[in-house]
Structure 1
Amino acid sequence: MVTVSPPHTWSYALHLPHDPRAPRIARKTLRAVLPAYGLSELLDSAELLTSELVTNAYLHTPGPAALRLRALGGEDAPGVRVSVWDTDPHIPEPFDKPPGRRGPLSPVPDLAERGRGLILVRQWADSWGAFPLGDDLFGRGGKLLWFELGAASGRGSR
């Protein structure tokens, strides 16, 4: 009896406390998972974009967050979907628009210390989006922001 899933169907989840170390823990998780499934070429982009989503969850919400990594495609077109859940139901720009829409964004002042992270996600990911979540069994609700990177797209080597 086989007890291991085929490699193209993997999924990992990590619960993150409201802690400034959460983005680093998320990056370390990616460094362990992606090479194990032959997705090393996505590592740099995935780390940067995941760090942006997890950092936003920490900075803009008072509660915990969760990270989920899931295989995309199959052996012929591998990739990863990264999702970050947090407790705030507000979906920020540019994720407040339909997935994949790449219209103009509000400008970020040159000297602003924040405001560019989600723009990076939008520009580097193959696809991205957000879902508002109703209350779950624990009354947390919130939102889920996600992005996808595919090995065939070449986005992992930017």
Structure 2
Amino acid sequence: MSDGPGFESFPDPEHPGWYTWQLKDPTRFNTWMFEKLIVRRDDDGKARLRMFPQRHHTNLQGMIHGGTTLALIDVGLFACSRMLGIIEAGTALTLDMSVQFIGAGKEDRPCDAVIELLKETRRLVFLRGIVEQDEGPIAAFSGTIRKPTAR
């Protein structure tokens, strides 16, 4: 399914039950930062955005860089909101994020931002979640996004 002029999302053939989440323009931040992102809605009503860490996502200790984690959370607020049926892809904005780093992420396995809706108003969406890998939590967060303005 096409999600507007800038995004594409369709079933990922390598990961049954998941959808791709990508920008059509490879020079934009999302595509530059993350070569591949996939997203799905879980049975518990939460949504999950998965990244596949690479060396350029790591710090000098060989762990996932905090900036990578922050970027995953920010992209996840929108991708997961779309999977939860709250917004269409487009011109929504991040208003705030609060992040608590809990553990270190490793380069050699997928990393997920798992997000749940707290409240939705006419203009705002309040979300919270956790970034996790097999070993456990990497970060906890909350965020608020403003829905796109009708033009």
TM > 0.5:
no
- Which of the pair is proportionally richer in helix? 1
- Which of the pair is proportionally richer in strand? 2
TM (normalized to structure 2)? 0.35
TM (normalized to structure 1)? 0.34
Tell me which of the two structures has the higher relative contact order, counting C-alpha pairs closer than 8 angstroms and 6 or more residues apart.
1
Larger-gyration structure (1/2): 1
